[in-house]
Structure 1
C-alpha cells in the first residue's frame, strides 16, 4: 500500500486533538499522539514542526470549524446563538483547548492571534453592517458590536467550561438537563441584547 501523507496528517491531527483536550499542551505526549495516530514521531515533527505548533494548528482549525459551521447572522442573532450553542455541545474539545491555551500559553501575541483578531473584526463589521446596533451613533457601533459579540460568546462558553457549577446552580440532576435549560436562556438573552430600542428603529 502506498504511503498516504494526507491520511497520516489527518490521523495525527485527530489524535492530537484528543490528547491536547485531555492533557493540555504541557501534559500532552508526542509518543501517545504518534501511537494513537498509528504514525511515527518523525512524521509529527515533519508535518507540524513541534508540539507547540501542532497545538496551535489544532486550535486554529477548530476555531475555523466553528466559524464556518455557525456564524452570527445580524437578522437572526438568537437563532444563530442557538446553533453555536449546539455546536459547542457536540464538540466539547474546543472549550477544553481554549481553557488549556489560557492556562498555558496566554499572553503570547503571535500570528495565530492576529488571524483570530482579523476574523473577529470581520464578524463585528458583519453585525454592524447588518444593522444590529444601528440605534447607536456611528462612532459607537464598532465597540458596541464587539461587546455584544464578546458577551454572547461568554454566555455560550461558560456553560461548557464549568458544567458542574451550572448543574449545581440550576439544581439539576444531569449536565444534559442543565444545558437544555441554559440553551433556552442564552438564546433569549441574546435576542434581547441584540434588539434595538423600539423608538430608535428606522421608520419610527
Structure 2
C-alpha cells in the first residue's frame, strides 16, 4: 500500500489532540502521540515541527472547527447559544485545551494570537447587527465584544468544572446538570439581549425629531 501522507497527518493530529487534552503541553509526550497515531516521531517533526507547534496547530484547528460549525445569529442570539452549548458538550476537548493553554502558556502573545484576534473581530462584526442600534459605533463594538465573551463564559464554565456544576445544582448526573444549565444559559442570554424598557425610552428620547 502506498504511503498516504494526509492520512498520517490526520492520525497524528487526532492522537495529539487526545494527548494534549488529557495531559497538557508539558505532560504530553511525542512518543505516546507517535504510538497512538501508528506513526514515527520523524513524521511528527516533519509535518508539525516541535511539540509546541503541534499543540498550537491542534488548538487553532479546534477553534476553527467551532467557528465553522456554529455561529451567533444577531437576530436570535439566545437560540444560537443553545446550539453552541451543545457543540461544547459534544467536544469537551476544546475547553481542556484552552485551560491547558491558560495554565502553561507564557505571558507573551504567540504567533497565532493575531490570527485568533482577527477571527474574533469577524465574529463581533457579525454580532454588531444585533446590538442596540442607538449606541455609537465604537460602543456597539465594545458591547458586542463584552456580550460574546460573557456568552463564552456562561457556556464554557459548565464543561470546565462538570463535577462542581453537578454538586452545586445538587443533581445526580452531569447530564441532568447540563440540561438545567443549558436552559438557564439560554434564558440568561435572552434577558441580556432583550432591550429594557429604560433603554427603549432612552433610544426614543435621543432619536432625532422631525
**What's the TM-score, normalizing by structure 1?**
0.95
Q: Which of the pair has more CA radius of gyration?
A: 2
1:181 aligns with 2:165: no
SS of the residue 2:130 aligns to: coil
Deviations 1:97-127 (A, max 9, x none): 0000000014231221111111111111111
Q: Which runs of 5+ in 2 are unaligned?
A: none
Deviations 1:164-202 (A, max 9, x none): 111111000111110000000001111111122352578
Deviations 1:124-174 (A, max 9, x none): 11111x232324233311111111111000000000001111111100011
Instruction: Report how many aligned residue pairs link the two structures.
Output: 202
- For 1:131 and 1:144, the matched residues in 2 are separated by 10
Q: Which runs of 5+ in 1 are unaligned?
A: none
Partner of 2:41: 41
Partner of 2:29: 29
Partner of 2:14: 14
Partner of 2:156: 157
**What's the TM-score, normalizing by structure 2?**
0.92
SS of the residue 1:111 aligns to: coil
What does 1:1-204 correspond to in 2, within 5 Å?
A: 1-128=1-128, 130-198=129-197, 199=200
- For 1:20 and 1:141, the matched residues in 2 are separated by 37
Change in 2 beyond 3 A, CA 1:49/1:146 = same
Shift of 1:24: 0.2
